[in-house]
């Protein structure tokens, strides 16, 4: 293959590297500018083979018909400490935004404003260390933690 023919494969590789989620053949076709899904699948298979042949610590894996680039399992434990905190769900992010905006807020007020799904968001944020919850009466007072401040590099 000459350089022009390699370009779509490089774009697919870059997309897989940058994405935090598995990408479908349709998404990879769109980003690479190739209309034929079969051709895109062939390019992905070439990339998989290239990574395997060179013994790379990275690999491209098929997850239910979509593809994702990851550190191979045999290396992931040794380098896991360098990974950032796992993503935050949309609901948890909304809860965090409301708490951060107000510096602190009663959980019961958030539930009235946003609905009962707030409870799951609060649990997730507490588990990840972004929120503290202090019991006050029949509700909890929610506050962003030091980890929140450091992670989002903002003043509260």
Residues 6+ apart with CB under 8 A from 50: none
Cβ–Cβ < 8 Å for 29, 37:
yes
Residue 155 has pLDDT above 50, yes or no: no
- The structure's pTM equals 0.55
Domain ranges, residue 8: 3-81
| pLDDT score of 156 | 45
Which strands form 131-136's sheet, in the order they lie side by side? 105-106, 139-144, 131-136
Residue 3 has pLDDT above 60, yes or no: no
- Same structural domain, 74 and 118: no
- Same structural domain, 69 and 116: no
The residue among 81, 105, 138 that closes a domain is: 81
pLDDT classification of 27: cutoffs 50, 70, 90: very high
| pLDDT score of 103 | 83
């Amino acid at each position: 293959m000459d350089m022009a023919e390699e370009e779509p494969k490089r774009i697919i590789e870059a997309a897989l590297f940058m994405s935090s989620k598995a990408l479908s053949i349709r998404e990879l076709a769109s980003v690479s500018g190739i209309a034929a899904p079969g051709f895109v699948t062939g390019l992905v298979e070439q990339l998989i083979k290239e990574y395997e042949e060179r013994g790379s610590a990275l690999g491209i894996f098929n997850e239910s018909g979509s593809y994702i680039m990851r550190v191979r399992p045999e290396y992931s434990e040794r380098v896991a400490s360098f990974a950032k905190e796992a993503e935050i769900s949309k609901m948890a992010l909304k809860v965090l935004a409301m708490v951060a905006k107000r510096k602190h807020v009663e959980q019961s007020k958030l539930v009235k404003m946003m609905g009962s799904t707030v409870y799951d968001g609060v649990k997730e944020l507490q588990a990840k260390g972004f929120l503290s919850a202090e019991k006050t009466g029949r509700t909890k007072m929610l506050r962003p933690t030091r980890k929140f401040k450091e992670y989002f590099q903002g003043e509260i």
